[in-house]
Amino acid sequence: MTHPLVSYPQLPDTPTSHLPFSPCVVVGDLIFVSGQASVDQKGNIISDTFEGEFRRSIENVRKVLEAAGSDLAHVVQTRNYVRDAEDVPLYNQIYREYFPQPSPARTTITNCLPPSLRYEVEVVAVRKAS
C-alpha cells in the first residue's frame, strides 16, 4: 500500500521479523508500532527473565520510534502482553521507569503469550515537533 501520508521508516538497527508485518507504520503524525518482544535485530527470540525481556522489548520500541522520528516520551498508548500473571507487580514497577506520570493510556493482558515469550508490547506514539 502506498499513500502520500503513509510511510514505513526503518534504520539499520531496527528489529525486523520474518513474519509479515512492518516494525511501524507512520500516518501523518501518528506512529503505530507493531508488537515488540525480546528479539534481536533479525527477529530471533532472546529468552531471559521477565525483567530482561521487558527491558529488551522496550529498547526495541525505542529503536523503532527513533526511526520514525519519535521517542518513548511521545507514546500515547501501550498494549502490553504479560505471559504470567504473577509478573504483573514487577511489570508495573519497571513500566513506571519507562513511562512516568502522566503515563500513556494502557491495556494489559495476561496469560496470553506462548511459552517462548514472557512479554510483548505495542505502542501508538506521535512524532516529535519539528
Q: pLDDT tens digits, the chain, 130 residues: what are they?
A: 567 788 888 777 777 777 778 889 999 999 999 999 999 988 889 999 999 999 999 999 999 999 999 999 999 999 999 999 999 999 999 999 999 999 999 999 999 999 999 999 999 999 998 7
What b/e readout covers 40-64, taking b as 16+ CB neighbours within 10 angstroms?
eeeeeeeeeebeebbbbbbebbebb
Residue-number span of the structural domain to which 83 is assigned = 6-126
Identify whether 60 is part of a domain: yes
What is the domain count for the chain? Answer: 1
48 vs 46: CA distance, rounded Å: 6
Identify whether 94 is part of a domain: yes
Identify whether 1 is part of a domain: no
What integer pLDDT is reported at residue 22 of this predicted model?
85
Identify whether 116 is part of a domain: yes
CATH number where 19 lies = 3.30.1330.40
- For 36, other C-beta atoms within 10 Å of its C-beta total 25
